[in-house]
Chain A
Amino acid sequence: MSFDLSIIWQNLPDILAGFWTTCWLWAVSTAGGIVLGFLVAVARRYGGRLIASVLGVYVAIMRGTPFLVQIFLLYYGGPFIGISLTETPTGLIGLVIYGAAYFSEVFRAGFEAVPVGHIEAAECVGLTRWQTVRRILLPEMALLVLPPSVNIAVILIKETAVLSTITVPELTMVTSVIGSQYYAFVEALTLLALFYWFLVEVTGRAGRWAEAKLSRYRFAN
């Protein structure tokens, strides 16, 4: 048995289609996770005790159970409560809900890191709560939440592979099918690893670039 690259060349269009699916699933779920996670963090902070504890339970469940189990429950358990979705929407929703829990924790910590006095000063000059979040809290914590957010985005890249278990036609699904068709698992999995690594590397670099841009504000007092 030899390392046979011709199998990869033959199936390149399928592989690239799978890679594209992985890319957009990841991008959309990261963006969705950031937005939803931010809203969860705001609601936990300002929404009163009941909302805060309900959302606290949500975050605990999402962080406390494997993503594989969550996605199975959503896909196979969904129909029992009237949610019947095809693979790709299920995968996307699952990723967003999962990612949002982690992002919300990052934002929660970010909110807490902004000195209370900065918020009081905003209150004293008449900013509303939402204006304070938008104009003071968000920009002040941006630099702080950036590295952990990039970290979560990187984890989400690799969690997209789990969606192959519910037959979403993403990279892992496509390459494992090819692997078993031609009995070329080593080739397929090596390629798979390289693609994920490439995405992670690009994300990490983008994160460091953004960090350098942001840190022109000197936060240390």
Chain B
Amino acid sequence: MNSTVPAIRISGLTKSYGETEVLHGIDLEFASGEVTCLIGPSGSGKSTLLRCIAFLEEATNGLISIEGEALGFAMGPGGNRIRLPQAEVRAVRSRIGMVFQQFNLWPHMTALGNVAEALVTVRGMSRSDAEARATRELERVGLGHRAGHYPAQLSGGQQQRVAIARALALDPRIMLFDEPTSSLDPELTGEVLNVMRQLADDGMTMLVVSHEIGFAASVGSKIVFLDQGKVLLEGSPTEVFGKPRHPRIDQFLDTYLDRGAATLI
């Protein structure tokens, strides 16, 4: 892959629900291997933006490209945006792995079954090859010994690690995390953040919506601060959190003292 092509390029992206516009023209680029943390107050549109990149939401306007390839929409010859066929959407989307706040494991399958499912149904692997691969992914997130457990038999932190393994098994080029630790208590948050930190060290391109300011500051190579559907600031953690600070960031950090922001203030 040409290193000058950004992993993700977003241009002029807007998203409306009915009359209400929640994203007002977002332009962003994320380089390959970069770990970007999207932060901002509730309702700032950060999850919506991430869901647009996962193509779970279709942007009202604007374009997204993944490693240079149009995701979902492309500019037609007349300058109008055209919807691409579903097969193309799926092809481009297969480069992306998604991790949800609510884990979203399938409750009728074991941890192993969850990870192996798409390898069999989508990639056409044999059940035994898929399970061998799934076992490796579970070991990678430290859950090799829980392969036969159903989601309801796992803690929240373990469920989220299975969800990460499920995404990684498909060899994504980019991993998206939508508040991956927000439904975990602090004790379980650490184990998930450790897996993410390991992934970042391995050079994965990551886009993380998180309230874990400490994680953002220590692992993020780039911080994007969204406010009211716009990018207010983007830069390295030092640029965004270092002093002198944007007054809006100051105000925001004040409310996050318990999420590792204390070290920054």
Residues of A with Cβ closer than 8 Å to B?
A: 115, 117-118, 120-128, 131, 135-136, 139-140, 142, 217-221
- In the complex, what's the smallest C-beta–C-beta distance from B207 to chain A, in angstroms? 14
A-B pairs with beta carbons under 8 Å apart, 16 shown: A115-B102, A118-B104, A120-B98, A120-B104, A124-B56, A124-B93, A124-B96, A126-B94, A127-B122, A128-B90, A131-B122, A135-B117, A218-B152, A219-B108, A219-B152, A220-B152
Smallest CB gap from A116: residue in B:
B104
Smallest CB gap from B159: residue in A:
A221
B134-169, CB under 8 A of A: which get 1 and which 0? 000000000000000011110000000001001100
Say yes or no: A120 contacts B93, CB within 8 Å. no
Please measure, in the bound complex, the distance between the C-alpha atom of A123 and the C-alpha atom of B102, giving whole angstroms.
15
Say yes or no: B106 contacts A221, CB within 8 Å. no
- In the complex, what's the smallest C-beta–C-beta distance from A117 to chain B, in angstroms? 4
Say yes or no: B54 contacts A218, CB within 8 Å. no
Say yes or no: B152 contacts A221, CB within 8 Å. yes
Say yes or no: A126 contacts B122, CB within 8 Å. yes
Please measure, in the bound complex, the distance between the C-alpha atom of A139 and the C-alpha atom of B150, giving whole angstroms.
14
Please measure, in the bound complex, the distance between the C-alpha atom of A126 and the C-alpha atom of B150, giving whole angstroms.
22
Please measure, in the bound complex, the distance between the C-alpha atom of A221 and the C-alpha atom of B96, giving whole angstroms.
27
Say yes or no: A115 contacts B122, CB within 8 Å. no
Q: Which of B96, B107, B167 has the most CB of A within 10 A?
A: B107
Please measure, in the bound complex, the distance between the C-alpha atom of A117 and the C-alpha atom of B105, giving whole angstroms.
9
Q: What chain A residues lie within 8 Å of B151 (beta carbons)? A: 221
Q: What chain B residues lie within 8 Å of A221 (beta carbons)? A: 107, 151-152
Q: What chain A residues lie within 8 Å of B166 (beta carbons)? A: 121, 125
Q: What chain B residues lie within 8 Å of A139 (beta carbons)? A: 108
- In the complex, what's the smallest C-beta–C-beta distance from A139 to chain B, in angstroms? 5
Please measure, in the bound complex, the distance between the C-alpha atom of A217 and the C-alpha atom of B113, giving whole angstroms.
13
Q: Which of A126, A127, A136 has the most CB of B within 10 A?
A: A126
Q: Given A126-B170, A218-B152, is A140 in contact with B121 using a C-beta cutoff of 8 Å?
A: no
Q: What chain B residues lie within 8 Å of A123 (beta carbons)? A: 56
Say yes or no: B117 contacts A125, CB within 8 Å. yes
Say yes or no: B118 contacts A125, CB within 8 Å. yes
Interface residue B100 (Cβ < 8 Å from any Cβ of A): yes
CB proximity to A under 8 Å, residues B168-186: 170
Contact of B104 among A117, A142, A218 (CB under 8 A): A117
